[in-house]
Amino acid sequence: MIHRLTTADSGFDAKLAAIIADRATATDVSAPVAAIIARVRAEGDAALVALTRQFDRFPITQDILKVSINEIDAAAATIPDDQRYAIDLAATRIEAFHRAQLPADISFTDEVGATLGLRWGPLDAVGIYVPGGKASYPSSVLMNAIPARVAGVGRIAMVVPTPDGMMNDLVLAAARRAGVTEIYRIGGAQAVAALAYGTATIAPVDRIVGPGNAYVAEAKRQVFGRVGIDSIAGPSEVLIIADADNNAYHIALDLIAQAEHAEDSQPILVTDDAELADAVATAITGALKTLPRAAIAAASLAAHGAIILVRDLDEAVALTNRVAPEHLQIMTAAPQAVLDCIRHAGSVFLGPHAPTAIGDYVAGPNHVLPTAGTARFSSGLSVFDFLKRTSIVSLDHPALVAIGRSAIILAEAENLGAHARSIAARIN
């Protein structure tokens, strides 16, 4: 059912390397994606209509590419009160956390009299991709749209695929709560291309964020440079560090919760207790019998999951930093002490009462996180993804004289005569 590894066994490093490398394995779709992008650039809305009919089996027309305000309002009105309350709670907590991230401008005058500064400002327009298909994710709407709105982005355009013409009311309700009213019923690489290059109906944006399938990820990679992107998202993953004093059933559910996202998700348990490892493996088998997405979760666990027995928690920490997981749960007697030794993780959950699943919805921090080991050099989505920095320099003549002669020397060393003369003319 799930891989069982022990660090004391010979060949462990090679086995672990294979599991980690497996996260980045994907079908090469670069050629068909490039063809789709080229078609959208050449044909605009006509390509969106044709490709949506082909891939989503939906006889869309140009006049209904955009979801109307009345449709958004009607969808929001249909959801039950408990779901409306849950969306509002999640949105409120996500907004509070991201509002706390807003940076302050910088301005100071240094010892030579130069005034230097840094000014933050929002992007003009952002595109949000929200997955459809196997599942609909109102939580993704909130996690992507709310930080953009908090940052002050003037225009937020959302695209969401509608297989067979079906759109999830919760997705529209979440968009309404997040302040998004520009929504298009298209998905796939064609939606990314439309956001990047624009069509008659859809104006281009400056950055595209949000998860999707392999075609969406590849399309984001190909349009990067024309627009900014958040990341190239890979399969979802969790790594749990747990000691003996834990509930095996809870851990089993945490692993399955990650596995049920998709067949290529990766759940890993790292423990120093052999009895807990055995108990979790048994609990997984039992829990799968009662869950609606058991087939998907079972496929994920069998292909990409692992229970790893380590000698001690120091070894668990070293292994975790090597994996650099998207989600990290630390379920030990002293989780903060373990956290202090962690260098690479997208988001961390401390203690037995903080499962990754709570972070997917209502905790507050963003659930759009680096995958496939990219937590070594990148971070989760935040307000900063929707802001840009502008540096400011103000010099009077004495300040220019104080530092300018060194600039002239460097410019001449680089054989950039106009640079040197531009400064020298002002000094002299």
- The set of catalytic residues is 326-327
104: left (phi over 0), alpha (psi -120 to 50) or beta: beta
Tokens linked to 13: 């490093």
Using CA of residue 134, residue 135, residue 141, residue 142, what is the dihedral sign?
negative
Q: Which amino acid makes up residue 229?
A: I
Tokens linked to 79: 């959801």
Q: How far is CA 285 from the centre of its chain?
A: 30
Look-up of token digits 């104006």? 203
**111 Cβ partners below 8 Å, 6+ apart?**
none
Do residues 186 and 159 make contact, with C-beta atoms less than 8 angstroms apart? Answer: yes
- What ranges in 247-339 are assigned the alpha helix state H? 248-259, 274-288, 294-304, 313-323, 335-339
Tokens linked to 128: 């949000």
Tokens linked to 374: 């990219």
Residue 193 CA: distances (Å) to CA of 36, 151, 263, 276? 8, 24, 27, 48
Give me the residues paired with residue 129 across strands.
159
Q: Give the full edge-to-edge strand order of the sheet including 155-159.
A: 182-184, 155-159, 125-129, 207-209, 228-229
Tokens linked to 99: 């509002």
d(CA 262, CA 279) in angstroms, rounded, equals 24
In 3D space, the residue among 338, 260, 340 whose CA is nearest the CA of residue 292 turns out to be 260
Residue 335 CA: distances (Å) to CA of 226, 246, 271, 331? 43, 13, 13, 6
d(CA 317, CA 321) in angstroms, rounded, equals 6
